[in-house]
Each structure stands twice: as C-alpha cells, then as structure tokens.
Amino acid sequence: TSVHWHGVRQLDSTGADGVPGITQCPIAPGSSFTYKFQVTQFGTFWYHS
C-alpha cells in the first residue's frame, strides 16, 4: 500500500509520489512510512491509496 498524490509537484521528492514498485517500495502490512515533501502550489488536490 502507498498514497498517491494527484496534482502535487514532487520536486526533489519523487520517492513520496506513492507509485508502489516504481517511485517507492510498497509499504508492508504492519509497517509505516512518513511522507515528507513541500507543497509549493495552492488549490484542491486529491489522493488515494
């Protein structure tokens, strides 16, 4: 599982883009991952896991 953000530019933080197996390793059941990135734009965005 991971969280994928739509419309949020991942500048220098592509590992937080949330595409398991492509930009980051999947988060195993019972494990945790802290997403850290700076949002530089404004508006309404959506995300999903």
CA distances from 38 to 7, 10, 24, 45 (A): 13, 8, 17, 14
Helix/strand/coil percentages in the chain, nearest 5: 5, 15, 80
Q: What is the pTM of this model?
A: 0.57
3-class secondary structure, 14: helix
Phi, psi of 4 (to 5 degrees): -110, 125
Per-residue model confidence as pLDDT tens for the chain (49 residues): 678 888 888 777 777 776 777 877 777 889 988 888 888 889 998 888 8
DSSP code, position 20:
B
The correct CATH number of 1-49 out of 3.40.50.20, 2.60.40.420, 3.40.50.1100, 2.40.50.140 is 2.60.40.420
